Chains A and B, each alone.
Chain A
Amino acid sequence: MAAETFVQVRGRRWWREISWRYLVAAVAIVYAAFPIVYVLSASLSARGTLTGSNELFADVTTVQYDALFQTLFPQWMVNSLVIGGVTAVATVLMASAAAYAFSRFRFAGRRGGLTFLLLVQMFPQMLAFIAIFLLLLSLRDVIPILGLNSRLALICVYLGGALGANTFLMYGFFNSVPKELDEAAKIDGAGHARIFFTIILRLVAPVLAVVALLSFVGTFSDYIIAGIVLQDQDKLTIAVGLYQFIAGQFDARWGIFAAGATISALPIVILFLFLQRYIVGGLTAGSVKG
């Protein structure tokens, strides 16, 4: 994102051309932020019902949070963090390795491979959830840890989507790293692995962060696959656990849900704000180059 430049505009021209933009900004910000403020307020309310949450910040207590931690929520949080974290790291490693291969080596089937990934990318893995369910059902008989109701199996399923979604984005960025750098390193005696890990990955670190974050958010929010694969209450992710917790008892458990929502959204929102510069770059650059 280009550095922001300011132009001074004063007097009548300011009123005519600029003032209304702040009005739009105010309306848009209220629209964007209101539901989130509302959740925060509901999580701090004492009664914890849907009706009780309509007076914003009528009272500020932590009873809902206390109640939340009596449920399995902490366990779900750990599950989500571990599943999302492992998936994100492995996704970054596998997708960047593939992007490195496509960007730096010339091999038979390279063009075909790239086109193939572009095609695969169109079909969301989620659509095959029935087959995933049946595959894991069979795998459970052979290796329970890779079968239904295993968190490791869920990670493996998510990793199936690692290449399709991210290789292309990274490929574009890898190409923007000058090849002269590799060659200089090669002359100094570095092998392909060292070039990959110590030169290229360092240079594209911001992209890696974005891919990791988007991958994490994707698995964190996934309901359909996690809901099918995981069955035991103590193995659920937040998305599945919180939903089951609130389903059918919308009114009564609203406050606890709001507390859970606040806690689980907070780290992601902060990361997003922190990385927004790179996210914007990643969103536009990857696809344009693709």
Chain B
Amino acid sequence: MGVLAFVAKRIGIYFAVLFIGLTITFLLPRLMPINPVDGYIGQLQSRANGTMTAEAITELRSTLETLYGLKGDLFTQYVSYLKRIVFSFDFGPSFTYYPQPVSAMIFNALPWTLGLLLTATVIAWLLGNMVGLVAGYFHKKKAASILEFVGILLYPIPYYILAVSMLLLLAYIFPIFPLSATFPVGQMTPEKFGMVIYNSLLPGITLVLAGFGWNILSMKALAVATTEEAYVTYARLKGASNWTRMTRYVFRNALLPQVTALALSLGMVFNGALLTEMIFSYPGIGLIMRTAANGGDYNVLYGAITISIIAVATAGLVIDLLYPLLDPRIRHK
């Protein structure tokens, strides 16, 4: 199979995954026995002490249904839903912050979440793999077990405990970082950028620490197994240096499963976003999702879920396209 055919096929699968994801997102809330328009009208009616006339209610219902894309039968709704998302990435207005469009809210929050979580995930992965590699390659040396100990120590701490402890330690007891982060709005200047970095450091460090331990442990286990491989022994008997054997032999081969793990954790950054952004009051998607879930803001939830689907599918796509570059055995199938 040619490279182009492979890429085309993989991208085809990507769009199929997105399509199925969007369809499920569309269907799930509609299978629930609650009608948000009825609920909304009921709220208004009770606030207005039932003074709304039947015509006014019909008119309101029609307006709301158009606004929220709930007009017509299921299929008409589905077609217009897909059209709106695919062509204008339009999820309608937020219920809570009416009339602010959901897409604008998401696009405002997205750079924050991606900036913090992607960076932290990648740094944790890089550091964890480096430490894990050294710990695994030199697993017969006593000093290397100290490195593994770092992983064993960090890995089981639940993130919320780690985050709150770090906040207490580095923002309250030793006030190095701000207790509650403040972020500048408007045009980005170098000064504001520095402020953003400074305010993002503490949540970033906790995220790196949380992801670090697992990466050490899994890379260590992979590296230990790889050092036993016949080709590593042979490289040693060829006289290849420790550095060559560690990087080109052990690391290159142990890396493959770790890349998959990285892709999965990159796809899951929005899950991590929720807790981090709550604890550090960080203005990203997680915070928006939480507010939306509390306030029954369906459109915002739709938007956030769609973004998550896109993120997971894209991470999978990137890894699938990257993998053949790392493993020749896949390239030639």
Q: Do A and B bind each other?
A: no
